[in-house]
Every structure is written in structure tokens, then in C-alpha cells.
Amino acid sequence: MAKAEGQVYDEELDPEHEARRRLALAQIRQYPDVALKMKARPVERFDDDLRSLVDRMKLLMRDARGIGLAATQVGVVQRVFVFTPSKDEVAAIVNPEIVERSEETDIVEEGCLSIQGILVPVERPLRVTIAGRDENGDEVRFELDDIFGRAAQHEADHLDGLLIIDRTTPEARREAMSLLRPRIVLT
Ligand SMILES: [Zn+2]
């Protein structure tokens, strides 16, 4: 089964990359951070601030070995995420809208960079078309399937404050919450 966003592959990292991954993860908001539950606001200005946010998010996503990262995960409550529309490609999408969804769905164990160590089954459409703008304000449109379509839907959810534990089965949610509860006490 493919795994989205978080634990992409069970890869062994060398010490330098592992250190970089840990540094990146330390900069990503972790459940139950309040930013993760917020509905992000539309971006109105396509300026240098936006472009430097996108650059920073792309680096964080790469170092964290993720395949998607939403602005809310770095505490910025704006509608923008970075993702991998295909292998070896990285893009940003601003004010994204999912404009088409396949009726066909599948269920995949999904992880999240903001809920480390948790994988839960999430049902999503197999294929989506997502439209929005890039960081320069130009219109973009992606037709996505497989793990790439799933990651884009996962990131779009983040912009509405929705997490994998909100999308999974009641049983898997209960199990995940029991694993997460000790962390809540500690933070
Ligand atoms: Zn996530």
C-alpha cells in the first residue's frame, strides 16, 4: 500500500540526512497544535513574502522527506501548499480548488508530517483535478492520480483544518487518539 505525505518510503537515511529530517520536522507544527485546526484564508497578494514562504516550505518538505506540506503546518493560515505533482517535480498551489473528483475511490494507509508515527486508512477519490495559481499568480491546473492525487487532497484538507484522523474510520480514529493522548498531556 502506498503511504501519503509522512512516511513516504521506509527508507534508511544516512546520519546527515536523518539530522536534516529531524530539524525540518521540528519546524513543522505537531498535533494538537491549534494552527492545524484552522481554516486558512485566501491569499490576496502574490508578493515576495509569498514566494519566500513557498521556497521555505519546499525546502522543509524535501528535508522532511514528505510529498506535500500545507502552510497551516508551518503556522501560516493562508491557502497555499507545496506538493509533488509527479515524481521529481515540486510545485506550489495557491488558493487551490478541487474542480473534479473521480467517482472511483480507494482506501490507503495515510500518514501526516504533523501527526508522526500514525497511519490510518483514508478513503479518497482516485483521481482529482485541482486548479489554482502558482506563487507568481499565474493560473495552474493539475490532473493527478495515485499517490500524487491523494497527497494533493490531503494538503487541501489541511487548508480547511481537516486531518487524517477526521477522515478515517471511527475505529482507526479511536486507536490513533489513544496513541496520541500521552503527547497531549506532555505538551
Ligand atoms: Zn498532513
Residue-wise pLDDT tens digits, 136-153: 999 999 999 999 999 999
Ligand 1 centroid from CA 87, angstroms:
19
Rounded distance from Cα 154 to ligand 1 centre (Å)? 6
Give the span between the Cα atoms of 79 and 72, in whole angstroms.
Answer: 8
Choosing from 89, 100, 155, 175, which is the catalytic residue? 155
Q: Has residue 8 got a pLDDT over 70?
A: no
Q: For residue 181, name the pLDDT band (cuts at 50, 70, 90).
A: confident
| Residue 98 · residue 184 · CB < 8 Å | no
Query: Picking from 92-101, 141-150, 161-170, 177-186, which range would have the lowest pLDDT averaged per residue?
Result: 177-186
> What pLDDT digit, counting tens, does each position of 110-140 carry?
999 999 999 999 999 999 999 999 999 999 9
Cell of 40: 486558512
155: annotated active-site residue: yes
Provide the residue type at 97 as one letter. E
Q: Which pTM value belongs to this model?
A: 0.92
Half-sphere exposure of 30 (CA within 13 A, CB side): 14
- The 8-class DSSP code of residue 97 comes to E
* SS3 assignment, position 141: strand
Q: Which amino acid is located at 156 in the chain? A: A
Compute, in angstroms, the gap from residue 148 CA to the centroid of ligand 1: 13
